[in-house]
Structure 1
Amino acid sequence: MPEPDPAEAAAHHGYDLGGHSARQVDRDLMRWADTILAMDVTNLTALHELADEHTVGRLALYLGDRDVPDPFGQPGNAFHDCIEMIVAGSARRLQRPDG
C-alpha cells in the first residue's frame, strides 16, 4: 500500500500546499516572528534551546495543552485527522480583524 500523500489530504480539505516549502528555524527567523508555534513538545523543547531572551516569550504549543500527532508513517486517515485537529486549533490562535 502506498504512503498517504499529505498534499492530497490537504487538497481534500481545500488547502493547496503547492507554494509550501520547509525551512530550518534559526535565530533570525525566530526574531522575525511574532508568535512561534510548535506542533509537539519535542519541537517546542528544541525551539526553547534555540531561543534567546527576546524570543522565548513568543514560543507556545499549537494546541496549548497537547501535541498534534505526527501523521507520517501512519495510515491515510491520520493525515485527515491531523488536518482537522490543526483547523480546529486555529480558532484559538487566529483573531478576526473586527475583534
Structure 2
Amino acid sequence: MLANYGYQDASGSFVITIDTDKCNGCGACAVACPADVFTVLDEDPNDPLRDEPVVVIGKEEKIRLKYTCSPCKPTTDRPPLPCLSACETGAISHSW
C-alpha cells in the first residue's frame, strides 16, 4: 500500500510516499533524517493486518515537509537525500 504524507498549496505538491509493502520498518530512514521527519511504529495505522513495524510521518511533520526537507533536497553536485540513500528497500519517494 502507498501511504502519502504531505500537502498541496499554491506553490506545489509536497508529498513523501512510503510504500508499506516494501518498507521493512528497519528505521534507517529515521536515523538518517536530520529533520526527524520519520517515526517507526510497531503497527501500521493504515493496515491493521500488518504484523511488522512500519515507518510513518506524523501529522505535525507532514504539514511542514516543504520546509523541513528543503535543506536536504538535491541540487547540482549534491548527494541524494539521506532518507532515500538509507532506505535499502526503496520504499520512500518524494513528489518534489
Q: Same fold (TM over 0.5)?
A: no
**TM (normalized to structure 2)?**
0.29
- Structure number with larger C-alpha Rg: 1
Q: TM-score, normalised by structure 1?
A: 0.29
Between Structure 1 and Structure 2, the one with more strand by share is 2
